[in-house]
Copies of this chain bind each other. A is one copy, B any other.
Amino acid sequence: MKRYGSLIKIKPKKLEEYKKIHADIWPDVARMITKCNIKNYSIYHKDGFLFSYFEYIGEDFKSDMAKMAADPITQKWWDICMPMQEPLETRKEGEWWAEMEEVFHQD
């Protein structure tokens, strides 16, 4: 299992809408997350920042992420979510959510 922490900004005017749709995520999007081996997935908000934490239990993260990105319903979901977000300038090439560095872990 590998843990991932990621960071992105949310447009202040879009926060309530973002919370609302995430309180009632489309079942097909939720199922695709599970199918792509992501577990224990949380998103937190504070001061315009969204932090995501999840645990990846598969064998090939890149390939699972490609599978998710190729799913038409997930694409429609992202078409709604992404304009609400503002990615960090400092993210790596190809990233939307910027991957964070794990500086501590204790089971």
Chain A residues in the interface with B (C-beta under 8 A): 3, 5, 7, 18-19, 22-23, 25, 30, 33-34, 38-47, 49-51, 53, 88, 90, 98-107
Contact = CB atoms under 8 A, between A and B. Distances in A.
B103 A53 contact: no
A98 B25 contact: no
A53 B53 CA distance: 8
B104 A22 contact: yes
Copies assembled: 2
Nearest to A33: B106
Among A42, A45, A107, max chain B CB count under 10 A is at: A42
21 contacts: A5-B42, A5-B44, A7-B44, A18-B103, A22-B104, A23-B104, A25-B106, A30-B106, A39-B107, A43-B102, A43-B104, A44-B51, A44-B53, A45-B100, A46-B88, A46-B90, A46-B100, A46-B101, A47-B88, A47-B98, A51-B53
